[in-house]
Amino acid sequence: MLDRLESMGLKKRYKPFMIPEDPQVHLTTKRPPLIKNGLLTGTEITTYDDSTFLVWTNRTKLARAIAKEHNLKIRELTGEAEVWAPATLADDLLPRFGAKIKRKASEKQLEVIKKARLSSPLFKKALSEPPPNTTPTV
């Protein structure tokens, strides 16, 4: 998945995932898409083809402003909008729609995480108990 995004020319490292029946790559967003009472809430970002992303969002004002600013194709529906963003502009536009970006942790941050994990009661319990019997029973 990351290879496909890199082949599209993206420089930022997004958090992709795939749905089994869908060949498109989806990006994790801060507000995932949900349909409540027949209306969309949140944003869904998918690859449309090898050079385009499709952004489906309930943020119609933002979508309209970005489409006007960059001369993008937009389809406005009741309370939602679809914007087709080219991969050349994706590093600038997708974070504005809430796409999550992977960040690298520094050595100091990794030490803090490791220390917190080791002091966790659940981690201590998992280390003290033997693993469950995983031998198959016939």
The span from the CA of 55 to the CA of 84, in Å, is 6
Residue 66 has a pLDDT of 95
For the whole model, what pTM was predicted?
Answer: 0.72
6 CB-near residues (< 8 Å, 6+ apart): none
Successive 10-residue mean pLDDT values, the chain, 138 residues: 80 88 89 90 92 94 95 92 93 92 86 83 70 62
Residue 134 has a pLDDT of 61
